Amino acid sequence: MGMINDNVDGSTYGDNQQSNANEEKILVSIRLRPLNARELANNDVPDWECINSTTVLYKNSQPERSMLPTAYTFDKVFGSDCSTRQVYEEAAKRVALSVVSGINSSIFAYGQTSSGKTYTMCGITEYTIADIYDYIHKHTNREFVLKFSAMEIYNEAVRDLLRSDAAPLRLLDDPERGTVVEKITEVTLRDWSHLKELLSVCEAQRKIGETSLNEMSSRSHQILRLTVDSSACEFRRSENSSTLSAIVNFVDLAGSERASQTLSAGMRLKEGSHINRSLLTLGTVIRKLSKGRNGHIPYRDSKLTRILQNSLGGNARTAIICTMSPAHSHVEQSRNTLFFANCANQVSTNAHVNVMMSEKALVKQLQRELARLENQLKNLGSLSNSCDSLALKEKELLIEKMDKEIRELTQQRDQSHSRLQNLIQSAGEYQGSRSWDALSSVSEPQEKGAWFEEYSPSEASEIIDPLRLDVSSVPHFSDKSEGLNFNKHEEQFPETSEEQFLSDDTSPRMFIEKYFGPDPTQGWEKIAERLDLSNEDNCKDVQCIETDTNMSEINSETVSSPEQVNQALEYANMHHDNKTLKPTFDELEKTVDTPSDCQLVEQYPSSESELSESRSRSNSDTVSFPGKVDQGLENVNMHNDDKTLKPTVDELKETIESPIDSHPGEQYPSSDSELSESRSIGASRSRSCSEIATTMPLSPRYEMEKEEETPSIEFQKDSPLRSPEHNNRKFSELESVADGKYLHRECSEDSFESDSTDAKEESIKALGLAGMVVKSEKQFVNKRVLEAGPTSSKFKKDYNVVLVVDHDSQKSSSNWSTEFEKQRAEIIQLWDACNVPLVYRTYFFLVFRGDPSDSIYMEVELRRLSFLKTKTGKNDAASSTRTMNHEREILCKLMLKKFSRKEREALFQKWGIGLKTKKRRLQLCRRLWTDTKDMDHIKESADLVAKLVGIAELGHAQKEIVGLSFSTPQVNIRSFSWKHSTPSLV
Ligand SMILES: Nc1ncnc2c1ncn2[C@@H]1O[C@H](COP(=O)(O)OP(=O)(O)OP(=O)(O)O)[C@@H](O)[C@H]1O
């Protein structure tokens, strides 16, 4: 036969949920015995009284006991006048008789020595067995088999009470039945009288001793065990028969005792010690079980708890009857008993119906169970599959979403790049465009005002898109070729807002990337590319000049160095007319004629005669310059609709014809005849060179370049081009330089068109950049030039001076770092003067830190800012200040978002802002980038802004990523490819 444990409702054992459904508390009751003769003799008084069927009350109100509870409630309480029958009926019968239904059960008697445990348990055992037999008699349809066994645990030894030998029994752990007592005698009961005989044997076998409290004190724990098997009579011999099988334990515990009270000694003391120890373990088990089975349950600490494990929180219904002596003299033990009872009352057990099945029935049962479990497994599998497919779908959706985001971001990046390229191009071009614009008086209705209000629908994007200011400065190009339609860009550019800027979805870093591109400096590459283009076109322009002005007349002496050009241009720029923002032609002419090796003013020709003489050496000066004059006049006539911003014809004429008083220009040619002469010669000449030269804004850097320690562009000293007689520079040569020949591009005689607007613009572009890059010591001139010498014919053919930025010389020169610092300080000043957005400054500041390859950027920035400073009007300044304030407000908000309260407080302290002052964040943001002369302040400002907008990670590393750091010393502007770490020389 196999055994399956079923719940009482018939469900299969092992189902936790159903098991929990059968959870029931241990039935706990209290029985007070009457005061015994000894107690009465001692005039002891009862302290305890049962005030109802469930509550026992402590009657004595001694002050020292006032803190202890006086009333205890249990399932049942029985007073001293209650019979054992009543106790059985109300406190044990239901539990005990579960055994006939196949449910294990246990009835315990717990209490101090001499409290009436044995007295009670004897009665209950008899009543139970009597009722069992009564039940059997009433249920004739079932066949019952009763087996009896009895044991005692004496001094921690298990003894079989049905055997006369005293050999202790071993305990074994059975996986199915739990702890079993090995070789214990189990007697199948014939009848009720048979059991009575056996009970008598047990009583006789049990260790009993006399103590001062109990003449017949039980010195052991006694467990009487009755096993009840039952099966339906009709299936008794059937293969499919099943049997209910359960055990009922009658546990008469030894009584707890105090040695002092029992006057124990010797063997009794030892017994008492074992008794108390095992009872202590039982109490611990009960206490732990009462707290929800947390922690280790010390069943194995004693044989008692080990044997009764199933009854203590296990699968047996359990009833505990706690016996107490109500005598005042036993109050401590009584309270201990009540405490144990109280804990036991919290313990739950799980009762199950134990079904013994025949092998065949067991197989069938197991097959059903197997099918059920397989079914469960399938369900789990399908659930798991559905979970997997769900997760897969989620992932696919996520991938799809990310793909979409990537596409959008890529598109935005491309747009930004495209826009940036154009903007950066304009950064280099705007000077030219402005000058062209001014000279030609293009039909712009008015000057562009504030930078940021021109092209963006929202301020936020404007703030961090400072290059837009360049857009505003080159409206002239907005409807031109090469994608320079900024209005179009405006449409393509998504509107943004401060909220977007600050939103979680768009991090400041992303925002920067979105509108700046991954790195705004990437656009510089395009500058280089455009250098090529524009120079190419400039060469065409030069060829045009050649054609019109008989370049054969130009000899090597007419070649001017770029340095001179720059000096001249700067000079011109310094003395421009305030109204037109342009130098007068006279000034320019003077400048052009200024020898490079001398101070501008000092070296100018001191008289008209000198000037005339100088000019007479070459027609080129009278060819090119008047060409520009004509152009300017022509344009003025065409677009003279804005007198406030554009020079009128008269103004222009005045500008041209009247030297500025305060300027050495008084030595310049001033007669109409000279001017006419110039015009007549250069009428058909391309406009570009001179126009550019007129308005080219130059930074103070060019003044520095005059100094010897500053690398500057020069022709090779050995070259004939550098001969002393070259001091008398000719404008045509300057023109050539200005037109971009210095940049690198070889010219082709047949590759240009004269008087071309495009050529003009390209020339402007080229010149806008020419000054940025021309600087070199010992630079080489195109080999063909050098080899051929300065013969005019050869020069005409190979008019292709090549300039190289010599980073090596820069790098090797300790001057570069000094110069870099100077330039940077200068830029910082200009940023401040021009209200350049802080984010832009920060980005620039972080990216460019003194690498030799930074020089070009620094130059470009200086030029851009220099020009910007000169052109910014009051309205512009007010507007840009507003925008700047707005930017600071945004940074202020970002500070709240980016920094914790602690971090902010640290910042306030660092920046000297009182922690209790109002608008602390705004105070801090208003201090950023303000002390332009304190580099520490600037660095800290940059670091803070970078952290706020998320560009802290930028620096040289980022620059290298975009290919802006060069490992080779020399960079040929012609093949200016920023992405090549080893750019080749021409
Ligand atoms: N409810 C009761 N009514 C009358 N007499 C009782 C009652 N309970 C116990 N007694 C008597 O008290 C004495 C001690 O009882 P009993 O031996 O059952 O105590 P015990 O708790 O088993 O003691 P021990 O732990 O020492 O074995 C016995 O003489 C018993 O007849």
If you write DSSP's letter for every residue of 310-340 in order, what string do you get? Answer: GGSSSSSEEEEEEEE--BGGGHHHHHHHHHH
Query: What SS3 class is residue 257?
Result: coil
207 lines ligand 1 (CB under 6 A): no
* Substitution site in 78, 86, 119, 221 for ligand 1 pocket (most atoms within 8 Å of beta carbon): 119
254 lines ligand 1 (CB under 6 A): yes
Spatial separation of the C-alpha atoms in residues 96 and 673, rounded to whole Å: 140
Distance (Å) from CA 215 to ligand 1 centroid: 10
Distance (Å) from CA 34 to ligand 1 centroid: 9
Looking at ligand 1, which residue's alpha carbon is closest to its atom 3?
33
CA torsion 561-565-568-572 (nearest 10°) is 180
What does the block give as tokens for 792? 């005019």
Could you identify the atom of ligand 1 that is nearest to the CA of residue 254?
25
* Cβ contact 422:486 at 8 Å: yes
Which distant-in-sequence residues (6+ apart) come within 8 Å of 182 by Cβ? 169, 170, 171, 172
Distance (Å) from CA 208 to ligand 1 centroid: 13
Known binding positions: 111-118
114 lines ligand 1 (CB under 6 A): yes
Looking at ligand 1, which residue's alpha carbon is closest to its atom 8?
116
118 lines ligand 1 (CB under 6 A): yes
What does the block give as tokens for 518? 């991954």
Distance (Å) from CA 396 to ligand 1 centroid: 79
Distance (Å) from CA 347 to ligand 1 centroid: 27
Spatial separation of the C-alpha atoms in residues 984 and 886, rounded to whole Å: 45
Spatial separation of the C-alpha atoms in residues 428 and 861, rounded to whole Å: 9
**Spans in the chain with pLDDT lower than 50:** 1, 6-19, 429-812, 953-986
Looking at ligand 1, which residue's alpha carbon is closest to its atom 12?
116
Spatial separation of the C-alpha atoms in residues 434 and 427, rounded to whole Å: 11
Distance (Å) from CA 146 to ligand 1 centroid: 29
33 lines ligand 1 (CB under 6 A): yes
Could you identify the atom of ligand 1 that is nearest to the CA of residue 121?
18
Looking at ligand 1, which residue's alpha carbon is closest to its atom 31?
119
221 lines ligand 1 (CB under 6 A): no
Q: Name the residue type at position 236.
A: R
CA proximity to 732, closest of 460, 526, 549, 929:
549
Query: What SS3 class is residue 346?
Result: coil
Q: What's the pTM?
A: 0.43
Spatial separation of the C-alpha atoms in residues 215 and 213, rounded to whole Å: 7
217 lines ligand 1 (CB under 6 A): yes
Q: What angle do CA 936, 848, 945 make, to 5 degrees?
A: 50
852 lines ligand 1 (CB under 6 A): no
Query: What SS3 class is residue 172?
Result: strand
* Substitution site in 31, 32, 33, 40 for ligand 1 pocket (most atoms within 8 Å of beta carbon): 33
DSSP bridge partners of 106: 249, 318
If you write DSSP's letter for every residue of 549-609 in order, what string do you get? Answer: HTGGG--GGG---HHHHHHHHHHHHHTEETTTTEE-HHHHHHHHHS-TTS-HHHHS-SSHH
303 lines ligand 1 (CB under 6 A): no
pLDDT at 34: 94
Query: What SS3 class is residue 394?
Result: helix
Spatial separation of the C-alpha atoms in residues 779 and 784, rounded to whole Å: 14
User: Max alpha carbon distance in the chain (Å)?
Assistant: 159
What does the block give as tokens for 312? 């203590």
* Cβ contact 47:334 at 8 Å: yes
Distance (Å) from CA 36 to ligand 1 centroid: 9
Distance (Å) from CA 393 to ligand 1 centroid: 75
pLDDT at 3: 52
34 lines ligand 1 (CB under 6 A): yes
Could you identify the atom of ligand 1 that is nearest to the CA of residue 252?
22
113 lines ligand 1 (CB under 6 A): yes
Distance (Å) from CA 8 to ligand 1 centroid: 35
* Substitution site in 29, 152, 214, 278 for ligand 1 pocket (most atoms within 8 Å of beta carbon): 214
Looking at ligand 1, which residue's alpha carbon is closest to its atom 10?
116
CA proximity to 889, closest of 925, 839, 836, 928:
925
218 lines ligand 1 (CB under 6 A): yes
Spatial separation of the C-alpha atoms in residues 272 and 277, rounded to whole Å: 8
Could you identify the atom of ligand 1 that is nearest to the CA of residue 213?
26
DSSP bridge partners of 112: 256
Work out the burial of residue 856: count CB atoms within 10 Å of its CB; fewer than 13 is exposed, 13-18 middle, 19 or more buried. Answer: buried
* Substitution site in 35, 114, 218 for ligand 1 pocket (most atoms within 8 Å of beta carbon): 114
pLDDT at 223: 94
DSSP bridge partners of 158: 153, 169
CATH number for 2-357 (one of 3.40.640.10, 3.40.630.10, 3.30.2140.20, 3.40.850.10): it is 3.40.850.10
Domain boundaries, the chain: 2-357, 361-518, 814-954
Known binding positions for ATP: 111-118
Could you identify the atom of ligand 1 that is nearest to the CA of residue 323?
21
* Substitution site in 113, 118, 217 for ligand 1 pocket (most atoms within 8 Å of beta carbon): 118
272 lines ligand 1 (CB under 6 A): no
pLDDT at 302: 87
Distance (Å) from CA 201 to ligand 1 centroid: 20
Could you identify the atom of ligand 1 that is nearest to the CA of residue 214?
26
Could you identify the atom of ligand 1 that is nearest to the CA of residue 84?
1
Helix axes 935-949, 874-898, angle to 10 degrees: 60
Distance (Å) from CA 112 to ligand 1 centroid: 10
CA atoms within 13 A on the CB side of 85: 2
Spatial separation of the C-alpha atoms in residues 146 and 230, rounded to whole Å: 9
768 lines ligand 1 (CB under 6 A): no
663 lines ligand 1 (CB under 6 A): no
